[in-house]
Structure 1
Amino acid sequence: MTDNFRFKALVRSGAAGLAASFALLATAGSAFAQEEAPTLNSGDTAWMLTATALVLLMTIPGLALFYGGMVRKKNVVAMTAQNFAIAALMSVIWMVIGYSLAFQDGGSMNAYIGGLDRLFLSGMGVDEISGTIPESVFMTFQMTFAIITPALITGAFADRMKFSSMLVFMALWLVFIYAPICHWVWGGGFLSEDGVLDFAGGTVVHINAGVAGLVACLVLGPRKGFGTENMAPHNVVLTMVGASLLWVGWFGFNAGSELAADGRAGMAMAVTQIATAAAALSWMFIEWIVHRKPTLLGLATGAVAGLVAITPASGFVDPSGALWIGLAAGIICFIASTSVKKAIGYDDALDVFGVHAIGGIVGAVLTGVFASAAITGADAPLGGLEGNWAQVGIQIKGIVATIVYCGLGTFVLLMVTKLFFGLRVTPQEEVEGLDISQHGEVIQ
């Protein structure tokens, strides 16, 4: 009896201990699951609220002033009105359908386009979290990218497109061109799966906008008097102020794309400053050598070229890589915007293709060269200088996919817009100026 009692007690004791162990494991597992669940970080959220405002500042008033100063005086109201109207129109379209197509799961078509789960931002409440920030903040941050990308295109066809047709074309372009390419790269599409590195928009924003701008200026044809009349900027100081606002806002663009207030965001800010300064200087010195004088317009344009080129690389490269990217961008974009443009003869009024497409290509390719695992914390080498030269080929694949889809798609959308609404103002309206003919306003 005594031995039997002791045996039963031992069994009960062992069972209790085992149950306690399972309970402890369950508690630990529950705690671990809670730690892994998305949680709001107030510091990250505060930074992303700031970054979102900075990126919006890039378009209004930054890009509006940058472009507005470069056109002739009779078209400055029209140019700034286009940018302001785009900011409003793209915001609504992004809310209705753009965000959902770009960032939701597209099911069987996810490699190419997102789904409609967030149509009209359905289901996005105050408690929805994306990473460590509210999804509403992430959505609005991405909205500012969807605003500036089509706004960049307007510089290519400056002085000659109907305002009404511009609105129709841009609305179509956001849905059918921008949203799919954004999904390919940032929304889990095939370029993301292939390993294309684009931290803040080399393909999604700049190559995309630059190629669309080239197609648009070719379809519309050159401005009346192009090559024979003086079409110099009416106010270079406005352009400099606009470029300065772009430079400041770009910290939100690049450092904000980390979506957190951390060391990588800090490095993205540092390399943005370095590359921009280097490009401004390299453009200035090559212009000084070729044309005998350094111009304020050249300095401002070179700075923008550097901003463009460092965009895809900003979260992947160290300061040395940024310096080389900036120097290369200033020289290559200068040649593309002057010698190449003159040789081919296309009328890209404000050098959207030469600065944004070419600068984006330079930055995307050199991202594959200079990307560093030390910056990202990756386990394997990222760029060519670390031994992973295959990354350059992957970057080129992303560039080619963007150029082909954007080029063909933009052409189709322009033809559809032309068929139903027309594209170009009349010769008389163009000579009079778009400020009067399209808006009934002039600056004094």
Structure 2
Amino acid sequence: MSNSTTPWLDTGDNAWQLTAASLVALQSVPGLVVLYAGIMPRSKWAINSAFMAFYGFAATLIVWVLWAYKMGFGIYMLPFVGRPGPVVTIQQELSQSFLPSAGVAQNFPLSTMIYFQFVFAAITVVILAGAVLGRMNFFAWMLFVPLWITFSYTIGAYSLWGGGFLFQRGVIDYSGGYVIHVSSGTAGFVAAHWVGPRLESDREDVRPNNILCVLIGAGILWIGWNGFNGGDPYAASADAGVAVLNTNVATAMSLLCWVICDMVYYKKPSVLGAVQGMITGLVAITPAAGVVAGWGAIAIGFASGTIPWVSMNIMGKRVQYFHKIDDTLGIFHTHCVAGVVGGFCTGLFATIEGCAAFGLTNPGGAIDGNGKQVWLQIVGALFIIGWNIVWTSLILLFIKYVCRIPLRMSEKDLLAGDDAIHGEVPYVLGPCEAHEHLLSGHYPNSSNDGEVKTV
């Protein structure tokens, strides 16, 4: 189809949107796949953790094109959700992208918008998985993904982006601080409660089995975030450039603050701490990326490098409730807390010029005299948190009691890990057991009486 028959098509916007979508896709596959495989304390969980992310990405796409995209971005059905339906015909895919409830059109095809929004949905459920790694029954996870995307993710997407009631009231979520990070952080914490904890032996040693894989995954996340935030103006616009720059500035500031906090408190700079600070910076700038100035990005980076640090390292270790809930990768702290911090700071630091460049009518935030924006941001966060507490619980209880699928693996599978669950191991060092001592504590070993024991 040539430009002459599609006068609405801007090839530059379409090229950037597809590029941005591909960058976001790379954050999940291979980004979080590799990061999860490397960050798990025992290598016996490397394949299962990576596969949970891999499966979540694929399952989300099928759900997305069959009914979920229209729930998040389609025609009004309820104030918080659109009417479900498929988007799989060639006529739909070639037509101009249009968000009917928001009344906004884009200069690229609907197929581009469907894919762009899919990669956001996929990474949300992949992030959520980080809270239940190392013990969630894979069969329960297979059912959980489509149900959670349908009854939880689409609600936040429509309410804040698709033209729903929070969108209409002026809550700002530039690129998913609430829709993606607060929702996944909340849902992950709730899921960790219902699934139950890992084996005590798996919780004692928190050292990653492959820290270089963690750094590779973290690097893909950071650079991929240029598409995450840079793609949300839906155009190769000036504001896209602002969003990309602010994203990197806030992330760098957050990383440095987290490392400094580690040095002051633990007397050592930690690579894992730097990765956590990077993630909280990326999360916190997400709701604000293109509507704040550079100094606002620095302020947000400072907040995201300190407040979630206190949440994870002080509150998380001293409050007994956080010991009871086994949030494997601390998703609550790095995504829910950081997302709320970023959303609140958006209400403080949003500028009139930034909002206008993004196409919003909001008169900035508190710094420009619009203190009401702070309260709007709080309301938006509370809705996402409340909805995810209720619906994540209902979905998991449905899987457990109605579908009769255990949420947690059997004790035998928990002891063995990847080999029992998938029949595969991540690292094969030789054709015999001569190298087993190199992996002490990572793999199960069978005694003569058949009892599974850890090496």
TM-score by length of 2: 0.86
Q: 1:44 to 1:302 in 2, by over 3 A?
A: same
Whether 2:93 is the aligned partner of 1:128: answer no
Aligned equivalent of 1:281, options 256, 265, 284: 256
The residue number in structure 2 matching 1:266 is 241
Aligned equivalent of 1:112, options 73, 80, 84: 80
SS for the counterpart of 1:232 is coil
Mapping of residues 160-179 of structure 1, within 5 Å: 160-179=135-154
Contact between 2:68 and 2:85, CA under 8 Å: does it hold in 1?
Answer: no
Aligned AA (2:355): T
Whether 2:64 is the aligned partner of 1:94: answer yes
TM-score by length of 1: 0.88
Which runs of at least 4 in structure 1 moved beyond 6 Å after TM superposition?
A: none
Whether 2:180 is the aligned partner of 1:205: answer yes
Contact between 1:96 and 1:121, CA under 8 Å: does it hold in 2?
Answer: no
* Counterparts of 1:153 and 1:297, CA distance in 2: 19
* Counterparts of 2:15 and 2:167, CA distance in 1: 28
Give how far 1:244 is off: 0.5
Q: 1:198 to 1:119 in 2, by over 3 A?
A: same
Aligned AA (1:254): N
Q: 1:228 to 1:198 in 2, by over 3 A?
A: closer
Give how far 1:123 is off: 4.8
Aligned AA (1:78): N
Aligned AA (1:440): G
Whether 2:53 is the aligned partner of 1:79: answer no
Whether 2:139 is the aligned partner of 1:157: answer no
Mapping of residues 163-242 of structure 1, within 5 Å: 163-225=138-200, 229-242=204-217
Aligned equivalent of 2:18, options 38, 41, 49: 49
Whether 2:407 is the aligned partner of 1:430: answer no
Aligned AA (2:341): V
* Counterparts of 2:156 and 2:203, CA distance in 1: 38
Deviates more, 1:333-342 or 1:145-154: 333-342
Aligned AA (1:41): D
Give how far 1:300 is off: 1.0
Structure 1: which 5+ runs fail to align? 1-36
The residue number in structure 1 matching 2:339 is 360
Contact between 2:68 and 2:84, CA under 8 Å: does it hold in 1?
Answer: no
* Counterparts of 2:93 and 2:212, CA distance in 1: 44
The residue number in structure 1 matching 2:290 is 315
**Bigger helix fraction:** 1
Give how far 1:231 is off: 3.0
Contact between 1:97 and 1:120, CA under 8 Å: does it hold in 2?
Answer: no
| Bigger Rg over Cα | 1
Matched residues, percent identical? 36
* RMSD of aligned Cα (Å): 1.6
Contact between 1:39 and 1:129, CA under 8 Å: does it hold in 2?
Answer: no
Q: 1:117 to 1:82 in 2, by over 3 A?
A: closer
Aligned AA (1:74): K
* Counterparts of 1:38 and 1:142, CA distance in 2: 24
Q: Deviations over 1:269-301 (max 9, x none)?
A: 000000000000000000111111011111111
* Counterparts of 1:362 and 1:121, CA distance in 2: 41
Whether 2:27 is the aligned partner of 1:58: answer yes
